[in-house]
Amino acid sequence: MTKHSSRYASSPEAVKKYDTQQLREEFLIDDLMQEDEIVLVYSHYDRYITGSAVPLSDLQLETIDPLKAGYFLERREMGIINVGGSGSIVVDGVSHSLGFKDALYIGSGNKEVVFKSDDRKNPAKFYINSAPAHTNYPTVKVSLAEAKKLELGTVETANHRTVNQMIIGGVVTTCQLQMGMTELRTGSVWNTMPAHVHDRRMEVYFYLDIPENQAVCHFMGQPQETRHIWMNNHQAVISPPWSIHSGSGTSNYTFIWGMAGENLDYGDMDVCKITDLR
């Protein structure tokens, strides 16, 4: 079964006036990882789709009405990272096995995508991102060990972290989709600090490895007009091009970042001084 919903773009001027409930309704995605279902959220920011598939039985990816397409990947590419038990994704008859925190890129033009779990008692939990694509590129698996790794931050500033670049130039060729996973070290809680914006790309964060009874406070908004959303495990948040995207947890955790837009330059961003944030 596939469920989908849509989110429209919001201007920064409108968001300044949102209360907590409105912020959560517009930007928080809190219904992912439902067993035996595919859940998809279609955002009008760069036509980005965020979703999940948790197969107890085989789940086949179906097109959804907003795409107006004969099949889901007719004009789209997709990135998937498994955050659950081992499983596989069958793409036009070819099976790709994914362990915990392994990734798969699927190029446009592939007609059939089926999600499978190796053990329904410990199902795979496939986190899905998708963006429009103009060219077909090969389907590629990227294990966590094969990711390009960046060591950033320090223990002293509580942001020592490993950035695993997985679906990104130099590792996988894509049209516009980029994905990776940032793991915070024990004792570190701040992600993406100093914060930044990139006006030519939007982004979605998905938080995982948050211990029970802990949470992450995600910061968004214009640098001079910030807001916050409290996040739980396996929740995602949409970040508009005009917004910072940063967070601090009550323990260390992991998050998956996904981006799309007209620029594939990972380093193209405007950094905000910590002392200038309001």
Q: Which residues are annotated as a binding site for Zn(2+)?
A: 196, 198, 203, 245
Checking 98-102 for CB contacts under 8 A at 24+ apart, the result is: 98/124, 98/126, 98/141, 99/143, 100/144, 101/144, 101/181, 102/141, 102/142, 102/143, 102/144
CA count, 13 A, side-chain hemisphere, 143: 7
Q: Which residues are annotated as a binding site?
A: 196, 198, 203, 245
Pairing of strands 225-231, 235-239: unpaired
Rg (CA), the chain: 18
Closest to 61 (Cα-Cα) out of 46, 39, 83: 39
CB atoms within 10 A of CB 230: 13
Pairing of strands 225-231, 190-191: unpaired
- Across the beta sheet with 76-82, the strand order is 2-7, 38-43, 49-53, 126-132, 76-82, 103-106, 140-142
What lies within 8 Å, CB to CB, of 191 at 6+ separation is 159, 161, 182, 184, 246, 247, 248, 249, 255
Pairing of strands 113-117, 87-91: antiparallel
Instruction: State whether residue 146 is helix, strand or coil.
Output: helix
What lies within 8 Å, CB to CB, of 28 at 6+ separation is 229, 231, 235, 236, 237
